[in-house]
């Protein structure tokens, strides 16, 4: 006796046709984002590269965007999903403005909205392949949080995504302290970005640092960091070990 | 009836006979036993007078800490030490083996061992096992041609570097090195930087933990600082100590001082290097 189970298009997990509609792997990806809270608000840094697998395809992608009046969103992972999220947030902010009631969505609210979106997509086995960093200031209180593609969300004084988890987080845990000045905060972020530049293969030497305070959002122009390659030992590394490398 | 095949003497090396049987068992659903891995942070750096090696002291068996205070800095020669990450048995066996080969070589040549000799012996052995001997090593020492620091990967490739990290905590330690290393460090600066890198691994990597071991090698002199730093002490120790439950009846107490039964003789001269 054979059992036949009727295929119904709602069963997205098993149906082959619906399969092509789910996100299975990312294609164009951005690497890490590093962000910290400082005295006046939040600082966020990212590089401007978009990799297509192992090729560095795009070198001018802005992975940090302002959301409404009070928040900054940085994303690592699939760039097209990031653009989709920006459209969702655009609609959200627009609808909020249409109420015209003097209230505006703060970073906490936006973070909550993003958490719900990411988690619900994950439940349908069709995730938005991003790790998002949400920072902002409202009524003098700074806020910094993170949501991953499976819906894990939390807030902290300093966050890092992607390779930054392994390379930047130890530095931040050691050297972050409350009430950093703007210069110290930028120096700390640049320290992390430099290590990422040396050790992450998908990082490029073209960065943007974004700042958000009570006054508003400033995203810097792209710039590059100085790197040091002049260690004596690198000039002739195998002088003492002929034949190896 | 005599066999037509010639009797070959048994060949040395690894016997792959059981691999097919193991494969068959895993296909049938048997879970292979996990190895005792050292899930580690090991580092080395070159400073102005020589080499400093550092390691954490946690050995893991899957999610469990099997040894809270193991030794990962292995002796190779009086002037050469080697840190090992990966499968504990492999690192121990391969460093022991090359250490004894170096000693025999020293007797034959009458000279101090060179770091490049240890490097070549290790990489030849590891390459011939095609990565199955899971030992990732940081080899450092000072010989007649100066201080040397090398990393050796399980498949047999090597790198010669001014500063190096290996193991699961290597990224945490490398971020400290990339941010803070400079050339011409003094001995104290070097030790401080190595301790910082190992601590970064201990606190940010789950596979590393417990204490920091450090080994400083300079021309003609070495210092093995076992448990140089202990940043994870037992926080709460009962001040009362251990007492037997009240219901235990003590029948007899007899204390025999061992010095009456046994003669302890101090051996002058070279104790075992390890």
More confident residue, B273 or A107: A107
Mean pLDDT estimate for chain B: 87
Name the residue facing B160 among A174, A232, A238 (closest C-beta): A238
Poorest-pLDDT segment among A204-213, A230-239, B77-86, B171-180: A230-239
**A232–B162 C-beta distance less than 8 A:** yes
Cβ-contact B84, B166 below 8 angstroms: no
Catalytic-labelled residue, pool A2, A4, A23, A227: A23
**A231–B176 C-beta distance less than 8 A:** no
pLDDT of residue B233: 84
Chain B residues inside the 8 Å CB shell of A197: none
**B159–A245 C-beta distance less than 8 A:** yes
Dihedral through CA B200, CA B204, CA B207, CA B210, nearest 10? Answer: 60
* Main-chain dihedrals φ then ψ at residue A182, nearest 5 degrees: -60, -45
3-state SS assignment for residue B211 = coil
Residue B260 pLDDT exceeds 90: no
Mean pLDDT of B218-223: 92
Dihedral through CA B190, CA B193, CA B196, CA B201, nearest 10? Answer: -100
**What is the distance in angstroms between the Cα of A158 and the nearest Cα belonging to chain B?**
15
Distance of alpha carbon B208 from its chain centroid, rounded?
13
Sheet holding B146-152, edge to edge: B73-77, B80-86, B135-143, B146-152, B158-160
Q: How many CB pairs under 8 A join A and B?
A: 71
Residue B207 pLDDT exceeds 80: yes
pLDDT of residue A13: 53
pLDDT classification of B274: cutoffs 50, 70, 90? very low
**A191–B179 C-beta distance less than 8 A:** yes
Spatial distance between the Cα atoms of A107 and A111, rounded to a whole number of angstroms: 6
In tens digits, chain A (245 residues) has pLDDT values of 555 555 555 554 555 566 667 888 899 999 999 999 999 999 999 999 999 999 999 999 999 999 998 999 999 999 999 999 999 999 999 999 999 998 999 999 999 999 999 999 999 999 999 999 999 999 999 999 999 999 999 999 999 999 999 999 999 999 999 999 999 999 999 999 999 999 999 999 999 999 999 999 999 999 999 999 888 878 877 776 676 66
Cβ-contact B148, B141 below 8 angstroms: yes
pLDDT of residue B33: 62
Percent of all residues in chain B with a pLDDT value above 70, rounded to a whole number? 89
What are A234's two structure tokens?
């690198």
Strands (DSSP E) found in A105-187? 130-138, 141-147, 153-155, 158-160
Spatial distance between the Cα atoms of B215 and B76, rounded to a whole number of angstroms: 13
**B200–A174 C-beta distance less than 8 A:** yes
Angle at A32 between CA B194 and CA A144, to 5 degrees: 95
Spatial distance between the Cα atoms of B48 and B41, rounded to a whole number of angstroms: 23
Name the residue facing B116 among A163, A167, A241 (closest C-beta): A241
Residue B78 pLDDT exceeds 90: yes
From the list B126, B72, B117, B124, the residue with the least C-alpha distance to B99 is: B117
pLDDT of residue B170: 93
pLDDT of residue B30: 77
Mean pLDDT of B259-267: 76
Strands (DSSP E) found in chain B? 42-46, 50-55, 59-61, 64-67, 73-77, 80-86, 135-143, 146-152, 158-160, 163-166, 212-218, 221-229
3-state SS assignment for residue A34 = strand
Spatial distance between the Cα atoms of B146 and B186, rounded to a whole number of angstroms: 16
Spatial distance between the Cα atoms of B224 and B55, rounded to a whole number of angstroms: 12
More confident residue, A161 or B28: A161
Spatial distance between the Cα atoms of B60 and B41, rounded to a whole number of angstroms: 12
Chain A residues inside the 8 Å CB shell of B200: 170, 174
Indicate the angle between helix axes A164-175 and B187-204, nearest 10 degrees.
Answer: 120
Q: Which helix (H) or strand (E) holds A67?
A: strand A64-67
Mean pLDDT of B20-43: 78
3-state SS assignment for residue B257 = coil
Name the residue facing B175 among A168, A240, A244 (closest C-beta): A168
More confident residue, B36 or B120: B120
**A234–B171 C-beta distance less than 8 A:** no
Chain B residues inside the 8 Å CB shell of A171: 175-176, 179
More confident residue, B3 or B240: B240
Chain B residues inside the 8 Å CB shell of A189: none
Q: How many other C-beta atoms can be found within 10 angstroms of the C-beta atom of residue B216?
A: 23
Residue B13 pLDDT exceeds 90: no
Q: What is the DSSP letter of A144?
A: E
Predicted ipTM? 0.76
């Amino acid at each position: 006796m054979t059992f036949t189970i009727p295929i119904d298009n709602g069963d997205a997990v098993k149906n082959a046709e619906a399969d092509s509609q789910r996100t299975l792997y990312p294609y164009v990806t951005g690497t890490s984002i590093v962000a910290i809270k400082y005295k006046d608000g939040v600082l966020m840094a990212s590089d401007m590269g978009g990799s297509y697998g192992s090729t560095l395809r795009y070198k001018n992608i802005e992975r940090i965007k302002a959301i409404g009046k009070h928040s900054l969103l940085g994303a690592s992972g699939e760039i097209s999903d990031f653009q989709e999220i920006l459209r969702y947030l655009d609609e959200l902010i627009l609808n909020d403005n249409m109420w015209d009631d003097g209230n505006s969505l703060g970073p906490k609210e936006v973070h909550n909205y993003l958490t719900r979106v990411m988690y619900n997509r994950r439940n349908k086995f069709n995730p938005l392949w991003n790790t998002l960093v949400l920072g902002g200031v409202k009524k003098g209180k700074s806020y910094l949080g993170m949501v991953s593609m499976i819906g894990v969300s939390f807030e902290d004084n300093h966050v890092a995504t992607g390779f930054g988890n392994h390379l930047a987080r130890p530095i931040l845990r050691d050297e972050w302290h409350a009430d950093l000045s703007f210069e110290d905060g930028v120096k700390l972020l640049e320290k992390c970005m430099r290590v990422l530049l040396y050790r992450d293969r998908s990082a490029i030497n073209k960065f943007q640092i974004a700042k958000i305070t009570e006054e508003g959002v400033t995203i810097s122009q792209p710039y590059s960091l100085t790197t040091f390659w002049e260690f004596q030992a690198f000039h002739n590394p195998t002088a003492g070990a002929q034949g190896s490398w | 009836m005599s066999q037509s095949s010639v009797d070959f003497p048994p060949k040395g090396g690894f016997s792959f006979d059981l691999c097919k049987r193991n494969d068959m068992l895993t296909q049938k659903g048997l879970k292979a036993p996990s190895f005792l891995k050292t899930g580690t942070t090991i580092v080395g750096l070159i400073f102005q007078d020589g080499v400093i090696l550092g390691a954490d002291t946690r050995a893991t068996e899957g999610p469990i800490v099997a040894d809270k205070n193991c030794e990962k800095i292995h002796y190779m020669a009086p002037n050469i030490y080697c840190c090992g990450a990966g499968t504990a048995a492999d690192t121990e066996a391969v460093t022991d083996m090359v250490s004894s080969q170096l000693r025999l070589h020293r007797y034959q040549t009458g000279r101090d061992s060179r770091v490049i000799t240890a490097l070549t012996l290790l990489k030849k052995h590891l390459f011939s096992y095609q990565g199955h001997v899971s030992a990732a090593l940081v080899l450092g020492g000072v010989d007649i041609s100066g201080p040397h620091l090398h990393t050796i990967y399980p498949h047999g490739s090597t790198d010669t570097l001014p500063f190096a990290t290996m193991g699961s905590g290597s990224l945490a330690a490398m971020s400290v090195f990339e941010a803070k290393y400079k050339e011409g460090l003094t001995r104290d600066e070097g030790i401080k930087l190595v301790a910082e890198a190992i601590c970064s691994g201990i606190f940010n990597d789950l596979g590393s933990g417990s204490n920091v071991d450090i080994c400083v090698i300079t021309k003609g002199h070495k210092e093995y600082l076992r448990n140089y730093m202990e940043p994870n002490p037992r926080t709460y120790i009962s001040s009362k100590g251990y007492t037997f439950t009240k219901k235990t009846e003590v029948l007899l107490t007899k204390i025999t001082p061992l010095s009456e039964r046994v003669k302890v003789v101090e051996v002058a001269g070279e104790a075992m290097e390890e």
